[in-house]
Amino acid sequence: MERRRQPPKQITVDSSHEGQRIDNYLLTALKGVPRHHVYRLLRKGEVRVNKGRIRPSYRLQHGDIVRIPPVATDRPHHSIPSPQLAEVLLKSILYEDNDLLIVNKPSGIAVHGGSGIQLGVIEAFRILRPQDPDLELVHRLDRATSGCLVLAKSREALLELHGLLRTNEIDKRYLTLVKGRWQIGSRSIAIPLRKNRLQSGERMVLHDAKGKTAISYFHPVNVCDEASLMEVKLMTGRMHQIRVHAAQQGYPIAGDDKYGDRTFNLKMRSLGLKRLFLHACSIEFAMRGKSHRIVVKAPLPYDLHQVLSRVDLSGDCIHAV
């Protein structure tokens, strides 16, 4: 175990970090420090802005002075990508330019470390791509979900892409297999959601009229009595949004051990499904200064294709019209 101790820092916030949450700022500034440690520093008031205590949700202003205390950082020597993981991630790159990187995230790999996970996609790429030290996640995917994941190479690109997300100018599409014959046609589902943590520590998302707005557009691609292949367009990006919306309509997602149907999941497992059937199949958006619109598609993984063939369903990422 290697131990490093950072000296106290007094940092003046510049315009590139204006509007960023202090917790997100610290997670970047204190690379190698566990997330729970960063939040403990905030709770105890050891991080100060303009000499005052702040909440994790505080948004930085241009000219703020942030005091970051000395922090002991434990960095296990093994927290680097294995050769196998490095090869998988580097081969997963679907698109790259000077501003961003889009990868086809494999199922089973977390997008970032935390909660017992030392290495996620973002930490791995920071090591694999030292020429891009400012890499940041633009959005997240559940660990079990595969497909298009966007990383920004600079703070400026991150801010622009976050702005596009807020104004719904990024077209994100998913393919998912749900239980039963979908009988309600193409439909926009608007069910507000609220995060909840159980006594066990497990995080769940619940339907709550006072929760955050969550809108998903479901379009049937192919259906049979046993299951339906759906394309879903996200209009908002809440945690577990597609999974909860599908289950609320009575069509839980295959392989979903949190919101799904146990009997259906066992049947799908007998057909070879060993994961959540949810894949971010495409992403499309435009950025300032680029002459072309960025359109990226992630092929459906082979294991999911095999499951479709066994339930007499097949289909690529077909956009709704």
pLDDT tens, N- to C-terminus, the chain (321 residues): 444 555 678 889 887 788 889 988 888 788 778 788 889 899 999 999 999 999 998 999 988 999 998 876 554 444 788 899 999 999 999 999 999 999 999 999 999 876 667 788 999 999 999 899 889 999 999 999 999 999 999 989 998 999 999 999 999 999 999 999 999 999 999 999 998 876 666 788 988 888 999 999 999 999 999 999 999 999 998 999 999 999 999 999 999 999 999 999 999 999 999 999 999 999 999 999 898 999 999 999 999 999 999 997 655 444 333
pLDDT of residue 195: 86
**Can you list the alpha helix ranges (DSSP code H) found in the chain?**
22-29, 35-43, 83-91, 121-128, 155-166, 241-248, 262-270, 302-310
d(CA 276, CA 108): 9
- Token pair in block for residue 180: 């039963």
Q: Which residue has the tokens 């929760």?
A: 211
Contact 198, 142 (CB under 8 A): no
d(CA 246, CA 230): 10
Handedness of CA 107, 109, 110, 111 (dihedral sign): negative
For residue 213, what are the CA distances in angstroms to 138, 207, 235, 236, 238? 20, 10, 10, 8, 8
Which domains are assigned to the chain? 2-71 (3.10.290.10), 83-159 (3.30.2350.10), 170-310 (3.30.2350.10)
For residue 45, the tally of other CB atoms under 10 A from its CB is 11
What are the φ and ψ backbone dihedral angles of 29, each rounded to 5 degrees? -65, -30
Which residue type occupies 132?
Answer: D
- Token pair in block for residue 290: 């680029």
pLDDT of residue 192: 93
Query: Which of 36, 35, 19, 16 shows the shortest CA–CA distance to 27?
Result: 35
Going by their DSSP bridges, the two strands 215-223 and 100-105 should be labelled as unpaired
Burial of 279 (0-12, 13-18, 19+ CB in 10 A): buried
d(CA 120, CA 143): 9
pLDDT of residue 33: 80
Which residue type occupies 289?
Answer: G
d(CA 46, CA 56): 12
Q: Which residues are catalytic?
A: 142
d(CA 167, CA 161): 10
pLDDT of residue 196: 83
Which residue type occupies 236?
Answer: T
